[in-house]
Every structure is written in structure tokens, then in C-alpha cells.
Amino acid sequence: MDDITLLVLAHPAESQLKMLDRLPEGTTIAVGESLEAFERVAAGADAILVWSGTRALLQRIWAIAPRVQWVHSRAAGLDGVLFRELIESPVPLTNGSGVFSRSLGEFVAAAALYFAKDFRRMMRNQAAGRWEQFDVEEVHGKTMGIVGYGDIGRASAERGKALGMRVIALRKRPEKSQGDSLIDEVFAPDRLLDLMGQSDYVVSAAPLTPETKGLIGAEAIAAMKPTGVLMNVGRGPVIDEAALVAALREKRIRGAALDVFETEPLPAGHPYYSFENLLLSPHCADHTPTWLEDAMQFFVENFERFRLGEPLKNVVEKRLGY
């Protein structure tokens, strides 16, 4: 396919857009954050890149772009992209899944070590000028339970395994993990409480869908060990925030490490800011120096596949939401 028209939902000043100069000569590119920016070319558009635009804008553009044959979202999560007309259409949707997984897996490993070695206590003693020896734990031999075994879950499993941990995972279709050397046991969704109870470190890496919203709620948290740590590197609303706040306040679990939240930015005065047993990352655990360039490079490579009629990478199951 030649002479492709691409609509890019983004602020025109974003530096990564310069990488679109690598697209073949003859590609028409329209960039903007309003419907007016696309009205002139939308009717003949072939593809849409959702770089930083909203679902509302995408939905409005979709209505005036009947020829679109491919939509790509920079983000891995799809809850901010999907709408009924897109889901029901035959147009493939791809996302940035896998681009950011390595860094998120490292955050999971770092958080496990943070609690096992009690780094907060070390820093507190250092700031106080206090020499106070204490015992630390090994993560070797502990169990990491992963809720949602996609790219992020697998990246977490790789690092957990490298640290000598037992890895168990819960996924909607357990049969897809048969033969996976990183997993010691895989559970179906109805065994969530079993996974929570067996795990020393629970990693929430599930996408946000109607089935996963609030999945890790009061009952699941109550099933955790008192020494257990809950981490979230997937989507904020998968964990019931009120239930986790109560568990942390009452110290019914050892702690939590969060990179995603129900409301972002986290409001001033939120209880999370005051908890000593919480490691809080402001949704930037995957913000490496090149994370945006990596995301755009992935799109550029997928664009070439689209142009040549080759299979696209990261085609999602729209009806499932991931």
C-alpha cells in the first residue's frame, strides 16, 4: 500500500513525532488534538495513531474516517481507547504491549527487594545517623503470584525466577501457559484466593476490563499472608483502593508497592502518601530515558508491516479488552 494517510492524535510539539519522518515518502500525516485538525483529510485516512489523544477525540474522528484500516495505541492499556463502534468493527487495533514491560518487571523485582531488605529502615537510620543492625530476608525461595500473565506478568516472572523465587500465575486461559518454564503453577480465575494465600509477593498485572475491575478486593486481600506484599503495575482500578487502604492502615499485610492508581494524579492528602508500609511510584516505573522513543519506534516498525500488507504485531482482542 502506498500514499497512506495517517492521523496522529497528539500535541504537534511532542518531540517523538519527528520520528515519523522515517515513514515512506508519500505518507500524508495530520497531527492534532481537535477534530478540526483532521477534518480535511479524515475521509481518506487509512490509519490512526493514538499517541496522547483521548478516547472522546478518537471516537469523534472515527465517525468521519470511514476508510480507516488500522488503529494503534501507544499505551498498553486499552480502557482509554476502546468504544463500541471500534470494538464491533473488523479494523485491527494494536497497542504498545511489551514496549514497557522490561522496566516494569524491574520495578517488581526492586519492590520485592525493598521490602525483603527493609530499605526504608536503612534510609531512616542513615538519616538519623543511627548504627542499628537488623535481620533481613531473602526473596530466594519465596513465592511470587502474578495476576494477569501477559507481557508485564511474564517480565515480572523472568526477574522473580532469576532471584530464585517460585512463580505462580493466574490467567483467564491457563492452557496458554502450558510448557512455560517460568511458571511453577498456573491457576484459572476461580482460584484467585488460592494464589493470594500462597504468595509472598502478589503482582497485579491484569488489564482493566469489566471482569477485572475491583478483582483484588477485600476478600482477596484478606486471603493474603500477614507478611505478604501487594504490587500493582497493571491498571489502578483492578485493586479495590478502599480495601487496600484499610489493610495497610490496619497492617493486615506487610505492605504494597503501587505504580498505578484509581485516580491519577493521586489527590493531595490521599492516605497513600502517609503510609510507611507503601512504596509509591507516580505511574512512572516505565519512564526510562527512551520510553517514548521506544514506543514510537515500535509504531514505525508496525507501520512498515501495515504498508507491506504483513501481519501486524500486538493485535489485541478488542472484545476481551487486551
Q: How far apart are CA 108 and CA 104, in angstroms?
A: 6
Beta-bridge partner residues of 50: 9, 73
Q: How many CB atoms lie within 10 A of CB 85?
A: 11
Give the H/E segment covering residue 294: helix 291-308
Q: Which of 55, 120, 270, 283 is catalytic?
A: 283
Our answer to whether residue 283 is catalytic in this structure is yes
How many Cα neighbours within 13 Å face the side chain of 201?
Answer: 34
Cβ pair 229, 111 in contact under 8 A? yes
Q: Say if CB 149 and CB 183 are below 8 A apart.
A: yes
Burial of 308 (0-12, 13-18, 19+ CB in 10 A): exposed
DSSP lists the bridge partners of residue 258 as 232, 280
Residue type, 69: Q
Sign of CA dihedral 272, 273, 279, 281: positive
From the list 159, 235, 241, 254, the catalytic residue is 235
Residue tagged active-site, from 85, 88, 211, 264:
264
Which residues have C-beta within 8 Å of that of residue 5, sequence separation ≥ 6? 27, 28, 29, 30, 41, 44, 45, 46, 47
Residue 196 CA to residue 96 CA, distance in Å, equals: 28
Distance CA 169, CA 284 (A): 24
Beta partners for residue 255, in sequence order: 229
Active site residue 235: yes
Catalytic residues: 235, 264, 283
